């Protein structure tokens, strides 16, 4: 990829090319532009030709063509001459059109199929759509209008009508566009507010969608009335009427192409970098990519593919040897198409299986970009037995059938995480089934933001990490502990979920609906689903609700759970929706993740690569029993195109359980229907059934043996064990190998739906914020135990702590009355060598309630503090608990510099050079721990001389949440501001630099000679 400077130059060149396309003959402008603001007049002519109806309104002509019972096309030629610059580039052949009928009425013509009627009003010419039952779908508030540059449709807006779509809209799209204006076209803004991978399609909660068949950019204002404009003097739109948003997306993708089915390695993590002639990393060779691949293997981390030439001027060598080396490490070779795809045949024959397209291609117009996606996809398939698999940073309608839409070059930060959350789920509403962004961006970032970003992106269908452009490479094993272990856990969690995610990938090829979904798609009748209440969360399939942490915090507020029962994936605690969860405890290794009641999730346990699967590998089902539910697993060989000829299999798990409370559970596993190369003829099965109540027996063609411990379960070939301490109580079952060609039933007797026999009696745990410990120092950790609607008795609290910590067991609590809370304090001593920072602790309470033995769990973060300072200490020499910075890392004893570490200049304010101090870039926030041992903070504050007069900021000092001092506005031309602040008794102090004028250009704020005076 390119630096920010190269981005700007590429954009200028690309925009010049784009303007040339839009102003050339292909833009379909009329030879003699109409006067500004012309609205179509009265209908002066009508004729019918089967499913095509021709309309005349003075010099203008219109045409209505029915495609299916619920899909039709309206075209308007202001000068009477129809043009079609899109041709067959986007819309696919649709087969035989439906039978239609028409009827003239006094004020209109009715054009009808069995499902809908399009009313064509005569005076003036105006359209409205009605269903067969007479209900209105949409109507024009005025006739189609145009001027020399654009055409506009104006629709009446319903009182509660919501709108979605327009492609990838960065920072928005998973909640309603109502009252908003969105742009549809490439703007090369890959950050919040940009709109890469635009799609001229939107859908409405009123049950319809509109696709503008064009390559021209547009503006859609979902105000009252709704106006949708394209920058061309012609009108060409397809309309879809459906019973649901999913139905409309399905019709749109039937017209423009269903999403492709990626190879299974395409759903694994990808890695991208330049190896040959990488100016950022020094001289390397293409084969050096294998050393990085070794890092994934040695760290037991999944990775499916690697791009080895991702950088301008990078090139490659030894391609076949590199491809073979990657394949030996269970990875595939990818290439960036900076130089086009003329050589793709030779590259694919040498082993290329992934093609990432260049942003500059869009400079020649959207059609060129779409053709690039299709041609690269075809190039892989024409020269191998593999499936086409491409990544595109800027694309258009139709690209869903050939590639992943990627959101471009971005800088890792908390803000980056925040605005990406709504982006990808929102894009699903435009038929884009695979959308993603680089883990932690390609610039900036940090160990913590990388880990937080990777967590939730494992629940996207596709994702990759980009290396070579930030201060250090961004493979998930680069950051040391605890980050490496956490990243490994989430990579392997995604790997285990491949059967679930791959089944949804196949579903997208049939329905057009991607796995990553806004809540509004799954819960269209929930009024909060369309609002900001659900903006920073999404559904991964129908069963997982993902609410990423997008701030430097160990808690997450505002998690909206819609109607239903939701189980915390990590603790087993259940919630009844609709509800909003605040204060969710989310230490660094914990992604807020909830599973819907009734879920049955197929999994591949314990693998690093899909290639680890053997003929004897188990299939695991993770089941949250509630009512009647089912899931159909889709399987094929994962890599070839034989599935298109029917070489695949499906297997359905049907679960019957109580709607709530006590009862039996039956799990029916159907026969695996279909064949493909490598299909297992037999396999063992594992089941994890989240009941919360121990069953009396488990039967599979007779009683399965009951096992008494985790060790016995691990050793046995088949049997069951109830683990009351695992996520609120889980029944674990495994079978001997069973034929995939035969169905079988598993019955759990005398147990319960998810949540237990008496879910309302379940106790819950919570932990007060801000609990601190010190390395090698005894301290107290508090845990609150809250009883449900029944008394809790015999509550014994234990803590699972990091290795080397010591815990003094707490006394058992005899009784906690129903609905009340009891605080339990536990004595802990961190290890002598415990690193300062966050440590994850899990509290476990074993108790009895409502006649049952139960267990409640809660993860939380305990902060390990460094030793407090003594004497006079420089702020740059202290350990920083947090160090958020606006651009690159905050620097010790240097100015901020650029995006890398230690790349700043000597700290200089008003001509004075400081040997000690802190160099930042607004907005910056550095936290240090004083432990109440210091009395004074002094410094000289100002904007570094390296900025030469630019910038405008304010400095502030905060202690334990209270602002102690704030500077006046400081500019690059200001005098140095002396800082002398009393910090007596303060435990935590934050040094902040904040932008004050909305432009962060030049905001290089320095804390010169920053020093604390301590006892």
pLDDT digits (tens, 9 = 90+) for 231-245: 999 999 999 999 999
Find the length of the chain.
1015
Predicted confidence (pLDDT) at residue 64 exceeds the cutoff of 50: yes
Give the torsion through C-alpha atoms of 464, 467, 469, 474, to 10 deg.
90
**pLDDT for res 999:** 85
Per residue in 340-350, pLDDT (tens digit) is: 888 999 999 99
The pLDDT, as a whole number, for residue 3 is 31
* Bridge partner list, 130: 117, 136
Asked if 394 and 197 count as a contact pair (C-beta separation under 8 A), the reply is: yes
Asked if residue 930 lies in contact with residue 880, where contact means CB atoms within 8 angstroms, the answer is no
Q: 530 Cβ partners below 8 Å, 6+ apart?
A: 162, 175, 176, 178, 205, 520
3-state secondary structure 874-938: EHHHCCEEEEECCCCCCEECCCCCCCCCCCCCCEEECCEEECCEEECCCCEEEEEECCCCEEEEE
Q: Which of 157-171, 468-482, 744-758, 841-855 has the lowest mean pLDDT?
A: 468-482
Pair 963, 956: CB distance under 8 Å = yes
- Please give the mean pLDDT across all residues of the chain: 93
pLDDT class of 18 with cuts at 50, 70, 90: very low
Q: Residue 8's pLDDT band (boundaries 50, 70, 90)? A: very low
Provide the percentage of residues in the chain whose pLDDT is more than 70: 96
Q: Encode pLDDT of 654-695 as tens digits.
A: 999 999 999 999 999 999 999 999 999 999 999 999 999 999
d(CA 293, CA 477): 11
The pLDDT value given to residue 283: 82
DSSP lists the bridge partners of residue 145 as 39, 152
Q: What is the pLDDT of residue 14?
A: 34
Looking at residue 405, its pLDDT comes to 94
Strand, coil or helix: 134: coil
pLDDT greater than 80 at residue 400 = yes
Band (363; pLDDT cuts 50, 70, 90) = low
- Per the listing, tokens 């680069």 go with 478
pLDDT band for 12, please (50, 70, 90 cuts).
very low
Neighbours of 623 (CB within 10 A): 29
Quick: pLDDT tens for 565-585: 999 999 999 999 999 999 999
CA 486 – CA 333 distance, rounded (Å): 26
Is the pLDDT at 438 greater than 80? The verdict is yes
Q: What's the pLDDT score for residue 172?
A: 96
pLDDT of 544 > 60? The answer is yes
Q: Are strands 235-241 and 332-336 parallel, antiparallel or unpaired?
A: unpaired
pLDDT recorded at residue 160: 95
CA distance 444 to 456: 19
Q: What SS3 class is residue 322?
A: helix
Would the pLDDT of 275 be above 50? yes
| Confidence tier at 29 by pLDDT (50, 70, 90) | very low
pLDDT higher than 60, residue 288 = yes
Helices 319-328 and 289-298, axial angle in degrees (round to 10): 0
For the cut 60, the answer to whether the pLDDT of residue 9 exceeds it is no
Mean pLDDT of 23-37: 39
Torsion of CA 865, 866, 870, 875, to 10 degrees: -100
Question: In 396-432, which positions are buried (b, 16+ CB within 10 angstroms) versus exposed (e)?
Answer: bbbbbbbbbbbbbbbbbbbbbbbbbbbbbbbbbbbbb
Residue 541 pLDDT > 60: yes
Residue 379 has pLDDT above 50, yes or no: yes
How far apart CA 125 and CA 139 sit, in angstroms, is: 12
The enclosing H or E element of 21 equals helix 4-22
Helix, strand, coil tally for the chain in percent (to 5): 15, 40, 45
The whole-number pLDDT of residue 985 equals 95
Contact indicator for 585, 843 with CB cutoff of 8 Å: no
Span 487-526, pLDDT tens digits = 999 999 999 999 999 999 999 999 999 999 999 999 999 9
pLDDT of residue 230: 96
Q: Mean pLDDT, to the nearest integer, of 758-782?
A: 93
Asked if residue 827 has pLDDT above 50, the reply is yes
**pLDDT tens-place string over residues 896-942:** 987 667 788 999 999 999 999 999 999 999 999 999 999 999 999 99
Q: Which residue has the higher pLDDT, 230 or 837?
A: 230
* Mean pLDDT value across residues 375-389: 97
- What is the b/e burial string over 669-703, where b = at least 16 CB atoms within 10 angstroms of the residue's CB? bbebebebeebbeebbbebbbbbbbbbeebbbeee
Q: What is the pTM of this model?
A: 0.92
Please classify residue 264 by burial: count the beta carbons closer than 10 Å to its beta carbon, then call 0-12 exposed, 13-18 middle and 19+ buried: buried
Whether pLDDT at 888 is above 90: no
Largest CA distance in the chain: 94
pLDDT at 574: 98
Place of tokens 């299709």: 374
């Amino acid at each position: 990829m390119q630096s920010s400077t190269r981005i700007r130059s590429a954009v200028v060149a690309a925009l010049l090319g784009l303007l040339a396309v839009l102003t050339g003959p292909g833009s379909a402008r009329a030879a003699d532009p109409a006067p500004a603001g012309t609205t179509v007049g009265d209908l002066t002519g009508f004729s019918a030709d089967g499913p095509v109806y021709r309309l005349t309104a003075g010099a203008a002509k219109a045409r209505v063509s029915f495609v299916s019972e619920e899909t039709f096309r309206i075209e308007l030629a202001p000068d009477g001459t129809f043009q079609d610059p899109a041709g067959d580039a986007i819309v696919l052949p649709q087969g035989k059109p439906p039978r239609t009928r028409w009827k003239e009425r006094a004020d209109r013509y009715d054009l009808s199929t069995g499902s809908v009627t399009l009313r064509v009003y005569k005076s003036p010419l105006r359209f409205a759509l009605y269903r067969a039952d007479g209900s209105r779908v949409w109507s024009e508030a005025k006739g189609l209008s145009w001027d020399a540059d654009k055409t506009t449709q104006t629709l009446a807006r319903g009182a509660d009508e919501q709108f979605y779509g327009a492609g990838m809209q960065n920072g928005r799209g998973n909640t309603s566009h109502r009252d908003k204006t969105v742009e549809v076209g490439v703007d090369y803004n890959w950050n919040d507010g940009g709109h890469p991978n635009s799609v001229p399609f939107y859908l409405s909660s009123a049950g319809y969608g509109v696709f503008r068949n064009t390559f021209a950019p547009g503006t859609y204002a979902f105000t009252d009335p709704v106006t949708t404009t394209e920058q061309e003097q012609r009108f060409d739109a397809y309309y879809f009427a459906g019973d649901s948003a999913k139905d409309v997306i399905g019709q749109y993708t039937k017209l423009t192409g269903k999403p492709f089915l990626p190879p299974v390695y395409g759903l694994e993590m990808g890695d991208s970098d330049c190896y040959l002639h990488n100016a950022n990393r020094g001289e390397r060779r293409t084969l050096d990519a294998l050393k990085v691949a070794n890092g994934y293997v040695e760290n037991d981390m999944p990775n499916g593919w690697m791009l080895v030439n991702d950088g301008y001027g990078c090139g490659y060598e030894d391609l076949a040897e590199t491809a073979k080396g990657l394949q030996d490490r269970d990875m595939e070779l990818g290439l960036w198409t900076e130089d086009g795809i003329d050589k793709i045949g030779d590259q694919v024959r040498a082993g290329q299986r992934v093609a990432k397209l260049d942003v500059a291609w869009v400079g020649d117009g959207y059609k060129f970009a779409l053709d690039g996606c299709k041609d690269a996809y075809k190039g892989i398939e024409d020269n191998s037995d593999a499936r086409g698999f491409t990544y595109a940073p800027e694309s258009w309608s139709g690209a869903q059938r050939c590639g992943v839409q990627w959101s471009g070059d971005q800088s890792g930060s908390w803000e980056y995480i925040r605005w990406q959350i709504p982006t990808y789920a929102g894009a699903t509403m435009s038929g884009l089934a695979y959308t993603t962004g680089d883990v932690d961006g390609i610039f900036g970032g940090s160990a913590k933001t990388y880990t937080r970003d990777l967590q939730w992106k494992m629940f996207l269908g596709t994702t990759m990490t980009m290396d070579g452009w930030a201060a250090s490479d961004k493979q998930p094993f680069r950051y040391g502990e605890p980050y490496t272990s956490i990243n490994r856990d989430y990579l392997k969690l995604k790997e285990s979920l491949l059967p679930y995610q791959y089944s949804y990938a196949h579903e997208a090829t049939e329905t057009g609906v991607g796995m990553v979904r806004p809540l509004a798609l799954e819960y269209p009748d929930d009024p909060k689903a369309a609002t900001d209440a659900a903006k920073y969360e999404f559904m991964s399939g129908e069963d997982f609700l993902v609410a990423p942490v997008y701030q430097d915090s160990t808690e997450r507020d505002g998690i909206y759970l819609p109607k239903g029962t939701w189980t915390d994936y990590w603790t087993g605690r259940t919630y009844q929706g609709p509800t909003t969860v605040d204060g969710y405890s989310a230490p660094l290794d914990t992604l807020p993740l909830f599973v819907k009641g009734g879920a049955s999730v197929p999994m591949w346990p314990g693998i690093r690569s899909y290639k680890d699967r053997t003929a004897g590998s188990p299939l695991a089902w993770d089941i949250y029993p509630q009512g009647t539910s089912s899931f159909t697993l889709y399987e094929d060989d994962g890599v070839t195109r034989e599935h298109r000829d029917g070489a695949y299999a499906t297997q359905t798990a049907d679960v019957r359980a109580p709607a709530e409370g006590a009862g039996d559970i039956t799990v029916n596993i159907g026969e695996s229907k279909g064949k493909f190369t490598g299909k297992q003829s037999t396999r063992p099965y594992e089941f994890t059934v989240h009941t919360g109540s121990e069953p009396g027996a488990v039967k599979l063609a007779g009683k399965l043996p009951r096992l008494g411990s985790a060790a016995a379960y691990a050793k046995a070939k088949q049997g069951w064990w109830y683990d009351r301490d695992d996520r609120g109580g889980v029944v674990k079952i495994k079978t001997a190998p069973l034929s995939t060609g035969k169905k079988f039933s598993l019955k759990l007797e005398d147990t319960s739906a998810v949540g237990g026999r008496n879910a309302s009696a379940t106790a819950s745990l919570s932990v007060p914020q801000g609990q601190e410990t010190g390395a090698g120092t005894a301290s107290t950790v508090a845990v609150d135990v809250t009883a449900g609607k029944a008394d809790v008795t015999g509550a014994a609290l234990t803590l699972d702590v990091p290795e080397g910590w010591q815990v003094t067991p707490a006394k058992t609590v005899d009784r906690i009355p129903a609905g009340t809370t009891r605080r339990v304090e536990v004595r802990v001593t961190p290890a002598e060598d415990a690193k300062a920072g966050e440590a994850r602790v899990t509290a476990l309470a074993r108790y009895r309630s409502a006649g049952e033995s139960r267990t409640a769990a809660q993860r939380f973060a305990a902060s390990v503090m460094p030793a407090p300072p003594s004497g006079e200490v420089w702020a740059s020499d202290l350990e920083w608990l947090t160090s958020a910075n606006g651009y690159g890392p905050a620097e010790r004893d240097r100015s901020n510099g650029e995006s890398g570490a230690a790349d700043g200049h000597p700290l200089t304010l008003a001509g004075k050079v400081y040997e000690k101090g802190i160099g930042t870039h607004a907005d910056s926030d550095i936290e240090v721990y004083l432990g109440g041992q210091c009395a004074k903070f002094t410094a000289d504050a100002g904007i570094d001389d390296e900025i030469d007069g630019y910038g405008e900021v304010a400095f502030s000092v905060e202690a334990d949440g209270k602002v102690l001092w704030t500077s006046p506005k400081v500019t690059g031309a200001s005098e140095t501001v002396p800082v002398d602040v009393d910090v007596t008794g303060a435990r935590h102090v934050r040094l902040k630099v904040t932008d004050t004028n909305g432009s962060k250009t030049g905001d290089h704020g320095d804390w010169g000679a920053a020093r604390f005076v301590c006892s």
